[in-house]
Amino acid sequence: MRAFQLTSLSIDSLHLADVPTPKPEAGEVLVRLRAASLNYLDLMVGSGRLGQADMPSFIPGTDGAGEIVEVGSHVSGWSVGDRVVPGLIVDWASGPLSRSTSGSMRGVTMPGSLADYAVVPATSLARIPEQLSFVEAATLPIAATTAWNAIVAGNVRPGAVVVLLGTGGVSLFALQFAKAAGARVIITSSSDEKLARARELGADVTINYVSTPGWDEVVLDETGGDGADLIVETVGPATFARSLNAAAFAGTVYVVGFVSGMELSIPVLPINLKTLRIIGSNTGSTANLADTVRAIKGGGIKPVIDRTFSFEDTQAAYRFLESGSHFGKVAIDFGPQ
C-alpha cells in the first residue's frame, strides 16, 4: 500500500513509500482510508516536538476517514463496507481519560492516517453520516470533537456568550455548534477577510486583534461588563491572561491549543475571584466523537474546509497548514485507489 513516512524529525523527511498492508487482529478492523485532515498536532509530530516520529518509517496523520474492508474476530456491530471515522485516542471508549487509556494515539504514538489502509480497534469507530463526504468526515476526530466538548463543558445555551480565538478548525466548528445552541459568538483574527467569512457563518462580533490588541476589553464592552460564559482558548500563553479577563463570573476557559508556546504564567486572582473553571482538552473519547457526529447530523452542520490537497501533495498540505493562512480545515483527498 501507499504510505507517507517520517524518517527523521522534520517535515522535509516526509516521503511516499510502498509498505505492507496491515492485517486486523481480534477486536480490530482494517479501514481503507479515503481522506485525511491535518491538525496542529501533526505539525508537532512532524517536527519532533511530540510523539514518536523518530521511529524508523513512522506513518503520521492523526485524522482520517474511510470504509471497513476487513473485520477481525470478536468484532460486533461493524461490517465490510461501513463508512467510518476512528477517534484519535483509540483505547478511550468513554468516560474520563485515564493513564491506561491515553497512550495509543493515531499518528502520534501509533501508525496514522496517511496511508491507504489502517488497522484500528473496532471500539474506536464512529459511523459517518450520509450527509458528509469522506473528506468532510476526516475533519471530525480532533477539531469537531474538541469543539463539541467545549460547548458541552461550557454549558452553552440560548443567550450564552462564546469567545473564539482565531479561525482554525476548532474555532469554526465551535462557532457553528454555538450558533445552533442559540449563543452569541465573538471571534478574533488578525485578518479582516477571515473575520468577514466568520460573519457569514454567523459570528455576531468580530475583532481584529492586530488593530485591537485589547480584545478582552471589547468582549467586556460588548457584554455590558459581564464577560463570556465560554472562551475556547486555542492560542496559549500569548492570550491566556486576556481570556481570564474576558471570562464571566463562573465562566469556563476551555484550554485547547498552545500555538504560542507551552509555558504559561498567569494571574491566579481572577480565577479565584470569578470562580472560573479552567478545563484542559485532549480531544475526546469514542463516545464524544459519536455525540459530535450526532450533533453535526442533527444540526445539518458542514465542516469548513479551506483547501483540499491530493494524496501525493501531502507535504504541501503540511506547509500550507504551517503557514497559518488557512480558514478552517486543511484536508487530503486520497483519490481513486
pLDDT in tens, 21-36: 999 999 999 999 999 9
pLDDT bucket at 120, cuts 50 / 70 / 90:
very high
Q: Report in angstroms the alpha-carbon separations of 242 from 169, 177, 202, 220, 239.
A: 22, 23, 24, 11, 5
Residue 260 predicted with pLDDT over 90:
no
Q: How many CB atoms lie within 10 A of CB 337?
A: 12
pLDDT bucket at 57, cuts 50 / 70 / 90:
confident
Residue 54 predicted with pLDDT over 60:
no
Q: Which listed CATH number (3.30.9.80, 3.90.180.10, 1.10.940.10, 3.30.360.10) goes with 2-139+303-333?
A: 3.90.180.10
Note the pLDDT of residue 326.
Answer: 96
Note the pLDDT of residue 53.
Answer: 59
pLDDT in tens, 201-255: 999 999 999 999 999 999 999 999 999 999 999 999 999 999 999 999 999 999 9
The Cα–Cα gap between 173 and 165 comes to 12
Range list of β-strands (E), the chain: 2-5, 15-18, 28-38, 63-71, 83-86, 117-121, 125-127, 161-165, 184-189, 205-208, 228-233, 247-255, 277-280, 305-310, 329-333
Mean pLDDT of 313-320: 97
Q: Please check whether the two domains, 2-139+303-333 and 144-280, share a CATH topology.
A: no
Domain boundaries, the chain: 2-139+303-333, 144-280
Q: H or E element: which one contains 271?
A: helix 269-273
144-280: what fold?
Rossmann fold (3.40.50)
- Residue 195: all three cell numbers together: 473575520
Helix, coil or strand: residue 159: coil
pLDDT in tens, 163-201: 999 999 999 999 999 999 999 999 999 999 999 999 999
Residue 93 predicted with pLDDT over 80:
yes
Residue 261 predicted with pLDDT over 90:
no
pLDDT bucket at 55, cuts 50 / 70 / 90:
low
In which residue are the cell numbers 482510508 written?
33
* Torsion sign over Cα 302, 165, 163, 89: positive
In which residue are the cell numbers 504541501 written?
316
- Residue 169: all three cell numbers together: 478548525
Helix, coil or strand: residue 233: strand
Let me know: does 128 contact 67? Beta carbons within 8 Å.
no
Strand partners, 105: 89
The Cα–Cα gap between 30 and 50 comes to 26
Strand duo 63-71 + 28-38: pairing: antiparallel
Selection from 75, 73, 64, 74 nearest residue 31 by Cα:
64
Selection from 58, 143, 70 nearest residue 106 by Cα:
58
- Greater model confidence, 55 or 69: 69
Note the pLDDT of residue 264.
Answer: 83
